[in-house]
Amino acid sequence: MNDENRLKQLCNDAPGWVTTILPLVSAAAGGLVLWATWFFYGDLYPSGFTWHNWIQPALMVIGGLLALAAAGLLVMRRPGGWDLLWAAITMIPVILALRLVIVVILAVGHVSSAVLDGSLVDRLGSISPASIAVTVVILAAIGIASLLGKADETPEDNS
């Protein structure tokens, strides 16, 4: 099924108010993301940006622009509007994944520099018990969630 047929099918299946309000929601989300980017990152000067500080605002601007473009296409009932809206929405997990990669890279850099200058033992001694407790709770929650996810999986019946 091509995009135009998929869009027509979705418009036929959805209530009328959904196809009317979706462009407004897309435009509002795009504008809100662009405003949030300006609000949170507007006071940072280019000299204050390190290599990892520009990734999230850049992806947020791209996502906001995609949502605004999708709003225009959705108003005209073009099938590309849905694709642009989904591309804008998928920027959220991309941003989160890249931030996680950056955290890992920075953590490895800090640990390696601490090992090289011999201050690793001093840094480990200054960790508060509260931060250790929070880390244990987060790891336990992730472990429980993964166990519950495995418990929900049922083997296929081949008989």
Task: Provide the pLDDT for residue 152.
Answer: 62
Confidence of residue 74 (pLDDT cuts 50, 70, 90): confident
Interval 96-105 mean pLDDT: 87
What number of other Cβ atoms are within 10 A of residue 136's Cβ? 10
Burial (CB < 10 A; 0-12, 13-18, 19+), residue 83, is: middle
Task: Provide the pLDDT for residue 22.
Answer: 84
CA-closest candidate to residue 109, choices 25, 30, 21, 50: 50
| pLDDT over 70 at 64, yes or no | yes
Task: Provide the pLDDT for residue 29.
Answer: 92
| Helix boundaries (H) for the chain | 3-13, 16-41, 55-75, 80-89, 91-117, 120-125, 129-152
Give every CB contact of residue 111 below 8 A, 6+ residues apart in sequence: 120
Q: Could you report the per-residue pLDDT of 12-24, keeping only the tens digit for each? A: 676 777 777 888 9
What number of other Cβ atoms are within 10 A of residue 57's Cβ? 18
| pLDDT over 70 at 72, yes or no | yes
Q: How far apart are CA 96 and CA 56, in angstroms?
A: 9
Q: How far apart are CA 134 and CA 35, in angstroms?
A: 33
Give every CB contact of residue 59 below 8 A, 6+ residues apart in sequence: 91, 94, 95, 98
